[in-house]
Amino acid sequence: MLFREITGLQDIKQSLVGTVANNHVAHAQLFHGGEGTANLALALAYATYVNCENKQADDACGKCPSCLKMSKLAHPDVTYIFPTAGGKSVLSENFMAQWRSFVKETPFGNLSDWLEKIGVKQGNIPAEEARQLIQKLALKSYEGGYKIVIIWQAEYLHNTTANALLKILEEPPEQTLFLLVVSSMERLLTTIISRTQRVAIRKFSENELVQYLATKDVSQERARQIAFLSEGNMHKALEILEKAEDTDHAWFANWMRMCYALNLQKLVPMADEFDARSKEQQKGLLEYGLSIFREIFLYSNGGQNLIRLENDELVFVQRFSTAINMNNLEQIIDTLGEAFYHIERNARAKIVFLDISLIIARLMK
């Protein structure tokens, strides 16, 4: 992974490159960013940069032997540790093939994507991992650069593992760099946090997401819509891109019109259409509805400048905010939220759809 392969985030890239230029590479760094951030991608790009044999001002060269090995996640001086399962002695190194293909598919995958890939329900980082690591770090680096340890989802370190790691962090071997990649700091031992330098990875901006989605063969309009819905979360953006279709808005708008008119002749066949969709699509449509109603709420409460919509969606929000009873808006939002909950728990989609249609129709009167 190179910095230039990651969309946007110039501010963070600059400060990471700066640590190398100024000779301020902290030996333990905590790449902290929520789900869908580039925390892992940036840690990989940083590791590549640190060991690149022909560093450019703002990125690794991508061509030297070190960069080539890094791009294949096969650098002998770089150790990857991540949650696994299947007993105390099942270590990350046994899962390198899956890890390589996982990172190659998308560095924005979350823990459940990973566990699904290796076919387990729960994962953690067992103590044996730390023991092996200590032995490995006692050896000299193969290629003369930094020995780098990348721990992904470091919040899943078993307590014993974390304590063993703590000892290494207190007396770090020379030329060794620890990059801990975490999504949530709550589970991490405070003693570990205090021995690392935090690198805060912000969410992607909406423009950065649009810029990225533009490379994925979607219309500008659709890219903007997905960026809006995913709220800076690349994982979510890619998920929506995969499952949703362009027609969500038109379908949703039509549904709301039929509710408003209490047109049962149309609502019943719509319920069948809704029922025929996949569960993910049903949830996607309800999520979309929720975000539109939140915009209506904003719009009618003087937040016109905060509205992020354009074209059809904006017209819809403007029209609807005059047609709808504001006192009932919160209840409509709650109703959609509950429907999402029931769909997720496998309630019959057709019944849920008709139920909420009638509730919404009543609340719109």
Which among 149, 86, 164 is positioned nearest to 123, based on CA atoms? 86
Which residue lies nearer to Zn ion by CB, 52 or 182?
52
**Toward Zn ion, which CB reaches closer, 47 or 361?**
47
Least distance (Å) from Zn ion to the CB of residue 145? Answer: 10
67 binds Zn ion (CB under 5 A): yes
DSSP state of 157: B
- 68 is an interface residue for Zn ion by CB under 5 A: no
Of 58-66, 120-128, 158-166, 312-320, the segment contacting Zn ion by CB under 5 A is 58-66
Closest CA to 235 of 287, 48, 243, 340: 243
Strand order, beta sheet including 197-200 = 78-81, 147-152, 176-182, 28-32, 197-200
Query: What 3 state SS string does 81-94 have?
Result: ECCECCCCCCCHHH
CA distances for 316 relative to 88, 118, 221, angstroms: 56, 44, 16
20 binds Zn ion per the rule CB under 5 A: no
Q: Which residue's CB is nearer to Zn ion, number 64 or number 218?
A: 64
Phi first, then psi, for residue 60 (nearest 5°) are -70, 160
Q: Of the two residues 61 and 120, which places its CB atom closer to Zn ion in the complex?
A: 61
**Considering the rule CB under 5 A, would residue 64 count as an interface residue with Zn ion?**
yes
Least distance to Zn ion, CB of residue 103, Å: 18
* Contact flag: residue 45 with Zn ion (CB under 5 A): no
Shortest distance, position 45 Cβ to Zn ion, whole Å: 12
Q: Count the Cβ atoms, other than its own, within 10 Å of residue 245.
A: 12
To the nearest whole angstrom, how small is the minimum distance from the Cβ of residue 232 to Zn ion?
30
**Count residues contacting Zn ion (CB under 5 A)?**
5
Q: Determine, following the binding rule CB under 5 A, whether residue 1 of this chain makes contact with Zn ion.
A: no
- d(Cα 220, Cα 129) in Å, to the nearest integer? 46
What is d(CA 100, CA 152) in angstroms, rounded to the nearest whole number?
A: 13
> Which tokens go with 201?
């990875």
**40 scored as a contact of Zn ion (CB under 5 A):** no
Task: Tell me the angle at which helices 234-243 and 220-230 cross, rounded to the nearest 10 degrees.
Answer: 130
Q: Does residue 61 interact with Zn ion by CB under 5 A?
A: yes
Paired residues of 152 in beta bridges:
181
Nearer to Zn ion, 2 or 253 (CB): 2
> Closest CB to Zn ion among 52 and 336?
52
**Whose Cβ is closer to Zn ion: residue 92's or residue 141's?**
141
Q: Which of 2, 16, 52, 324 binds Zn ion (CB under 5 A)?
A: 52
Residue 60 contacts Zn ion per CB under 5 A? yes
What does the DSSP 8-state code read for residue 306? Answer: G
- Note the residues at the interface with Zn ion (CB under 5 A): 52, 60-61, 64, 67
